[in-house]
Amino acid sequence: MTKYENPQGLQVATNTLTRVEGIGTVAVSAKIGNAWEEVKLHNVMYIPNAANLFSQNVLLYNKKYTAESDCKGTKFYDKDGNLSLSAKLCENKMLVMYMKPLKESRKAMLAADGGHQMPSRWHERMGHVNFDYLKKTVNSGAVFLGDFDKLEKEYKCDVCIKAKATLKPYPTTRKQPRAVGELLHMDLVHAVEESAVEKNKYFLLIKDDRSNYRVVRFQKTKTAIETVNNIKEVIEKFSTQTGGKVKGIRSDKGTEFTNQLLADYLSQQGIRHEFTPTACPQSNVKIERDVRTVREMC
């Protein structure tokens, strides 16, 4: 391997730069057809602590190789027409290329682990994927960990546990029984992904306190006009469907709810507006937990 005096930058899929510290040739054992053969990969970039990535476009760019694809996968041929590499098309529509270290290099591979647990390393390399998916990936042969590495015990990641932890809601107090549609909880949230069709960046979630019936309205902006129009439409819907009258709404103190346009409408309809404390989402768990559910569905 040729090590760079000054590491070079390489842009990855996350639009960030990673450090390339060298380039060289790697000898691996690749499954071609039904047999394992030794293959040398040239101009391989060395990126410390990175997962192994193979680019078909880079391989074909130098015009020394050609590729043929069908319903079973893709085969790569060298300039003399010899089969050099192959990739199998799996049920999840992903191309899997079977490779593993040569026998004489396995000790070096295991020694490089430095005593670290292999499940933790692959869990972090694959973006903190859940253990069941990681185990399924290994069992399907998409990842080769060596003859002495097995994923038998489940790995508990402290980072994942802390990231998924949520604040407990405040203890509930005894409340007066309400009719369906009498009190509505609502929140306006930024969507996880922007809709490709309508270009909606936000969604307004409204939930009935008694029946837990939910209504979602997508919005392009957080402006008062768009938000209030959606609130009016939902309030009229509840009044028509239940035959009763909406008596109150509950929300946070975002500007989309504290504007004069909404205040005037609620005053005309005789609807009270209850606000939750600032920066305290656990005080309105009735709607906050549903926001998390909708986000995971988007």
CA distances from 64 to 28, 57, 78, 84, 240 (A): 20, 12, 6, 11, 70
CA distances from 186 to 180, 192, 253, 254, 296 (A): 15, 18, 11, 11, 18
Q: Would you state the pLDDT for residue 225?
A: 94
* pLDDT beyond 60 at 227: yes
- 97 with 113, same domain: the answer is no
In a 3-state reduction of DSSP, which class is residue 271?
coil
What are the residues whose beta carbons fall under 8 Å from the beta carbon of 30, sequence distance 6 or more?
A: 36, 37, 38, 39, 85, 86, 97, 98, 99
- Residue 158 lies inside a defined structural domain of this protein: yes
Of 49, 80, 101, the residue that ends a domain is: 101
Containing 250, the helix (H) or strand (E) segment is strand 248-251
Pairing of strands 248-251, 183-190: parallel
- 26 with 76, same domain: the answer is yes
End-to-end CA distance of the chain: 45
Structural domain harbouring 54: 1-101
Question: What pLDDT band is residue 274 in, cutting at 50, 70 and 90?
Answer: very high
Strands (DSSP E) contained in 99-210 are: 99-101, 183-190, 202-208
- 187 with 293, same domain: the answer is yes
* pLDDT beyond 90 at 283: no
In a 3-state reduction of DSSP, which class is residue 150?
coil
CA nearest 59: which of 47, 34, 41? 41
Q: What is the mean pLDDT of residues 34-54?
A: 79
- 87 with 140, same domain: the answer is no
Of 81, 101, 121, the residue that ends a domain is: 101
pLDDT tens digits, one per residue of 86-140: 888 887 777 787 777 776 444 333 334 444 456 677 777 777 777 777 777 777 7
Q: How crowded is the C-beta side of 67, counted as CA atoms within 13 Å? A: 16
pLDDT tens digits, one per residue of 197-225: 577 889 999 999 889 899 999 898 999 99
- Residue 171 lies inside a defined structural domain of this protein: no
User: Could you tell me which residue, 228 or 87, shows the higher pLDDT?
Assistant: 228
Question: What pLDDT band is residue 148 in, cutting at 50, 70 and 90?
Answer: very low
Containing 40, the helix (H) or strand (E) segment is strand 35-46
User: Could you tell me which residue, 171 or 235, shows the higher pLDDT?
Assistant: 235
- Residue 84 lies inside a defined structural domain of this protein: yes
- Residue 178 lies inside a defined structural domain of this protein: no
Instruction: Give the gyration radius of the chain's Cα atoms.
Output: 28
Task: Please say whether the beta carbons of 283 and 277 come within 8 A.
Answer: yes
- 128 with 95, same domain: the answer is no
- 243 with 264, same domain: the answer is yes
Alpha helix positions (H), 165-217: none
Q: Would you state the pLDDT for residue 115?
A: 42
CATH for 260: 3.30.420.10
Predicted model pTM:
0.46
Which amino acid, 207? K
- Residue 176 lies inside a defined structural domain of this protein: no
Q: Would you state the pLDDT for residue 269?
A: 94
- 131 with 44, same domain: the answer is no
Query: Domain tally for the chain?
Result: 3
Of 101, 123, 146, the residue that ends a domain is: 101
Question: What pLDDT band is residue 229 in, cutting at 50, 70 and 90?
Answer: very high
- 188 with 288, same domain: the answer is yes
- 129 with 189, same domain: the answer is no
- Residue 85 lies inside a defined structural domain of this protein: yes
- Residue 287 lies inside a defined structural domain of this protein: yes
- Residue 172 lies inside a defined structural domain of this protein: no
- 140 with 188, same domain: the answer is no
- 142 with 109, same domain: the answer is yes
- 116 with 160, same domain: the answer is yes
